[in-house]
Amino acid sequence: MALPGIAALRRPPRAASFILGAVLMLTALWTVGEWRARSAAADLEHAAEGALALHLAALLSGLDKHRSVPFVLARDPEVAALLRDPADPDRRRYIDHKLDLLNAEIRADVIYVIDGDGNTLAASNWSSGQSFVGHNYGFRPYFRNAMRDGLGEHFAMGTVSHQPGFYIARRVDAPDAPGVVVVKVRFEDVEAAWARSDSPVFVTDGQGVVILTSRPDWRFRPITPLPEETRRVLRESRRYGAAPLAPLPFATGGPEDAARVVLLGDGVAAEGDPGSHLLVAAPIPGLDWTMHILVSRVPVHQQVALTVIATGFAGLLLLFGLSRLQDWRTSLRERIETQQRARAELEEKVAARTRELTEANERLLREAEERRRAEVVARQARADLVHAGRLAVLGQISASIAHEINQPLGAIRSYADNAVTLLRRERADAACDNMHRIAGLTERIGTITSHLKGFARRTSGPVGVLNLEPSVRNALALMEHRIRRAGIRVEVDVPAVQVRAEPVQLEQVLVNLLQNAADAQDGRPAPRIAIRAERRGATCVIAVEDDGPGIPEAMMPQLFAAFHTTKAGSGGLGLGLSIARNIVETFGGTIAGGNRPDGGAVFTVVLECAP
Ligand code: ADP
């Protein structure tokens, strides 16, 4: 019998569970991987933006510092004086020295002064082999812009030094002395600082060409291919010297973020770096430049891998745990089912056994009731039988009793007749004597009838302890007439003992034995009956013996069986001994009959003796 709750515990087949688990696991891994990729990319971007902001701040502060120099020099009266009188060699030398000193202080590349025609009058590198003095820079955009607008800034390759630099030019604000003061800045320190970082940092100009960079080999290479026209213009202007302007092998876009992820191609990717980088850019205020930082996305991949592995491991652990739980549930379900089956079987067995026991009990009760009824019937039958036996005994002794009564009745008649005669003769005394005799005789009759009445009517009482001797006497009294008439010699030897019996029934037994003894000696000379009793331990043995012919051998096997008699002709029923045994057994005693060696029969009754 399966309970509904147990049915709910049934699990799907193992293969289905496995597939479901695998699908869930892969989905979870994919989701976690995606989430981790996004969050790690965001973290990386955040960090890159922070680094970029720092680099940008450093760059701007350097630029501002250098911008102040031409600003101040453009207002310097000595510079204006030089422009007014460029032929004065002392003045030129003086300014050369001054610029040299200033350059050493601010650590720019070169500081120089150009007149209105573009000729360099003085320069901080006046004494070096690559001195700018005497060179004409009238074609340079920074010069032209400064002459036109007052300020010109331009990044370009140096025509003399062949070193790239950022040129900051200021027009000298003196109408009579046109000219420009220029500071060429090289950013080597800045680039060296950038190079110390793992992530490449670079600045592109308005065309997207790298001009400042932590990776020198990237310089003057555009981050996206330049249109042919732009390349031509740049080459002709020699702004970046003879640089081929080959684009950096950056493949923009990727599976994750098309705009910001670049894949570094051969030659630019660091060794062991798969090349996927995040490109973060920020415009540089005041210039058409853009600063970039390229951060490797390896940490993102590592974190994603780590997270996926950890999640996978946790998932496997979870699956393992779930599988163990499943197994545990299965075994629990099986255990519960087994227990329920066992309990159901047990309950069934108990119910069957209870049914059997109930039926057996009912059968026993029925049998007990039947037995009880049978016993009542048997007891009643036995009592009836005993009473019938007693009446039979009475019937047998009634003739002699009638004779016994007739004799005093006859005497009473004669005494009465005599008394009448005597009264007529007025012999009152004699008549009175006769009356007394009559009274004595009626008393004798009364004694005889009272014996009979007691024997015939008295119903049996319970078994108890009684004196043996009065019962023997009563039995002999009932037999008295027959004994006397048959001239039987009676020997009595009964001590004063107490036995367990019922008086009327004990008398009945004794009368029966006396009757049989008398019957056996009917017509025989010198009949004799002896009644003896003696104590033997806890019992009392009562023996009734006679001098008759003894019990016939053929009678022996059924001596106490009912309806076995040798006296059928004289009205014997064969019930006397059967009833006697019945009575003695109800007293808890035994009865036996046998023949004496010297002739005659002897019957012994053994009864329980009172202490
Ligand atoms: P009944 O006296 O009517 O025959 P009993 O049961 O008293 O029935 O006796 C059964 C038989 O046992 C008698 O018929 C007789 O043959 C035998 N029996 C009993 N008592 C004696 C005795 N004292 N001597 C010889 N035979 C006896």
Structural domains in the chain, sorted by start: 74-186 (3.30.450.20), 339-458 (no CATH), 460-608 (3.30.565.10)
Looking at residue 477, what is its pLDDT?
Answer: 87
Distance in angstroms (rounded) separating the CA atoms of residues 543 and 538? 17
Which tokens go with 379? 């007891």
- Which residues, 6+ apart, have CB-to-CB distance to 76 below 8 Å? 181
Phi-psi region of 74 (alpha: psi -120 to 50; beta: other; left: phi over 0): alpha
For residue 16, is pLDDT > 60?
A: yes
Cβ pair 519, 567 in contact under 8 A: yes
Cβ pair 74, 82 in contact under 8 A: no
- Ligand 1 atom nearest the C-alpha of 512 is 7
For residue 136, is pLDDT > 60?
A: yes
Can you tell me the mean pLDDT for 120-138?
Answer: 93
Can you tell me the mean pLDDT for 347-351?
Answer: 92
Q: What is the mean pLDDT of the chain?
A: 87
Please report the DSSP string for 224-246 in residue order.
SPPPHHHHHHHHHHTTTTT---P
| Percentage of the chain modeled with pLDDT above 90 | 51
Point out the least confidently predicted range of 59-73, 244-258, 533-547: 244-258
- Residue predicted with more confidence, 15 or 34: 34
Looking at residue 271, what is its pLDDT?
Answer: 59
For residue 62, is pLDDT > 90?
A: no
Task: Give the range with max mean pLDDT: 17-21, 187-191, 547-551.
Answer: 547-551
The DSSP call for residue 119 is: B
Answer whether 0.75 is exceeded by the pTM.
no
For residue 453, is pLDDT > 80?
A: no
Cβ neighbours around 287 below 10 Å, total: 16
Cβ pair 189, 107 in contact under 8 A: yes
- Atom 26 of ligand 1 has which residue's CA nearest to it? 551
For residue 383, is pLDDT > 60?
A: yes
CA of 1 to the centre of ligand 1 (A): 77
Which tokens go with 163? 């070193």
460-488: string of b/e by CB count within 10 Å (b at 16+)? Answer: beebeebebeebbebbbbbbbbbbeebeb
Task: Give the range with max mean pLDDT: 75-79, 156-160, 243-247.
Answer: 75-79
CA of 575 to the centre of ligand 1 (A): 9
For residue 197, is pLDDT > 90?
A: no
CA of 566 to the centre of ligand 1 (A): 7
> Which residues have CB under 6 Å of ligand 1?
516-517, 520, 546, 548, 550-552, 555, 559, 565-567, 572-574, 576-577, 601
